[in-house]
Amino acid sequence: MTAVFHDAAVLPAGSPEPVVRLTGVGRAYGSGPHRVHALRDVTASIAPGELVAVAGPSGSGKSTLLNLVGTLDRPTSGQVVIDGHDVARLDDRGLSSLRAHRIGFVFQHFHLAEGTRAVDNVADGLLYTGLPRRRRLARAEAALHRVGLSHRTGHRSHQMSGGERQRVAIARAVVGDPALLLADEPTGALDTRSGALVVELLRELHTAGTTVVIITHDTELAASLPRHLLVRDGRLVEDAGAGGPVRERTG
Pick the residue with more confidence: 3 or 233? Answer: 233
Running DSSP on this structure, what letter comes out for residue 217? Answer: S
In the three-class reduction of DSSP (H, G, I as helix; E, B as strand; rest coil), residue 46 is classed as: strand
pLDDT confidence of residue 128: 79
- Statement: residue 21 has pLDDT above 90: yes
Average pLDDT for residues 75-97, to the nearest whole number? 94
Handedness of CA 121, 122, 125, 127 (dihedral sign): negative
pLDDT confidence of residue 5: 32
- Statement: residue 37 has pLDDT above 70: yes
d(CA 225, CA 243): 10
C-alpha separations of 149 from 67, 172, 183, 191 in Å: 29, 12, 19, 19
- Statement: residue 61 has pLDDT above 50: yes
Q: What angle do CA 169, 201, 193 make, to 5 degrees?
A: 90
d(CA 113, CA 96): 21
In the three-class reduction of DSSP (H, G, I as helix; E, B as strand; rest coil), residue 181 is classed as: strand
> Max alpha carbon distance in the chain (Å)?
57
The neighbour count for residue 113, using CB atoms within 10 Å, is 12
Query: Over the range 197-236, which residues count as b (16 or more CB within 10 Å of their CB) and which as e?
Result: bbbebbeebbeeebbbbbbbebeebbeebebbbbbbebbb
Classify residue 70 as exposed, middle or buried by CB count within 10 Å of its CB (0-12, 13-18, 19+): buried
What are the domain boundaries of the chain? 48-72+97-248
Question: Contact 146/204 with Cβ under 8 angstroms?
Answer: no
Confidence of residue 189 (pLDDT cuts 50, 70, 90): confident
- Statement: residue 22 has pLDDT above 50: yes
- Statement: residue 2 has pLDDT above 80: no
Confidence of residue 32 (pLDDT cuts 50, 70, 90): confident
Question: Contact 182/102 with Cβ under 8 angstroms?
Answer: no
The neighbour count for residue 9, using CB atoms within 10 Å, is 9
pTM over 0.95: no
What is the fold, at CATH topology level, of the domain defined by 48-72+97-248?
A: Rossmann fold (3.40.50)
Q: How many residues does the chain have?
A: 251
Per-residue pLDDT of 129-154, as tens digits, reads 888 999 999 999 999 999 999 999 99
d(CA 200, CA 93): 35
